[in-house]
Amino acid sequence: MTRKKPCLVGENKCDVIRDVPAACADKDAAVAFMEKQRWADDPCCPLCGGVDVYQMKDRKSGSREANYRWRCRDCGQKYTVRTGTVMAQTRMPLRYWCHAFWRVCSSKKSVSAKQIQRETGLSYKSALFLLHRVRFAMADMKGVKLSGTVEVDEIYIGGKPRYKGQSQRGRGTRKQPVIGMVERSGRVRTCVIPDVTGKTLKDAVQQHVRKASRIITDEWPAYRKAVAGFDGGHSVVNHSMNEYVRGDVTTNTIESFFAILKRGLIGVYHNVSRKYLQRYLDEFEFRYNTRKVDDGERTVAAIQGAIGKRLMYREPEERAA
Binding region for Zn ion (CB under 5 A): 45, 47-48, 50, 72, 74-75
84 vs 158, beta carbon nearer Zn ion: 84
Least separation in angstroms between CB 218 and Zn ion: 53
Q: How far is the CB of 73 from Zn ion (least distance, A)?
A: 8
User: CA-CA distance, 266 to 120, in Å (whole number)?
Assistant: 24
Q: Shortest gap between Cβ of 67 and Zn ion (angstroms)?
A: 17
Smaller CB separation from Zn ion, 80 or 200: 80
- Residue whose CB is less far from Zn ion, 72 or 205: 72
- Nearest to Zn ion of 83, 213 (CB atom): 83
User: Which amino acid, residue 172?
Assistant: G
**Cβ nearer to Zn ion, comparing 54 with 225:** 54
Three-state SS string over the chain comes to: CCCCCCCCCCCCHHHHHHHHHHHHHCHHHHHHHHHHHHHCCCCCCCCCCCCCEEECECCCCCCECCCCCEEECCCCCEECCCCCECCCCCCCCHHHHHHHHHHHHHCCCCCCHHHHHHHHCCCHHHHHHHHHHHHHHHCCCCCCCECCEEEEEEEEECCCCCCCCCCCCCCCCCCEEEEEEEECCCCEEEEECCCCCHHHHHHHHHHHECCCCEEEEECCCHHHHHCCCCCCCEEEECHHHCCCCECCECCHHHHHHHHHHHHHHHHHHCCCCHHHHHHHHHHHHHHHHCCCCCHHHHHHHHHHHCECCCCCCCCCCCCCC
Q: Given the complex with Zn ion, which of 84 and 93 has the nearer CB atom?
A: 84
Residue 46: CB minimum distance to Zn ion, A? 8
Shortest approach of Zn ion to residue 48 CB, angstroms?
Answer: 3
| Min dist. Cβ of residue 77 to Zn ion (A) | 5
In the complex, the smallest distance separating the C-beta of residue 91 from Zn ion, rounded to whole angstroms, is 24
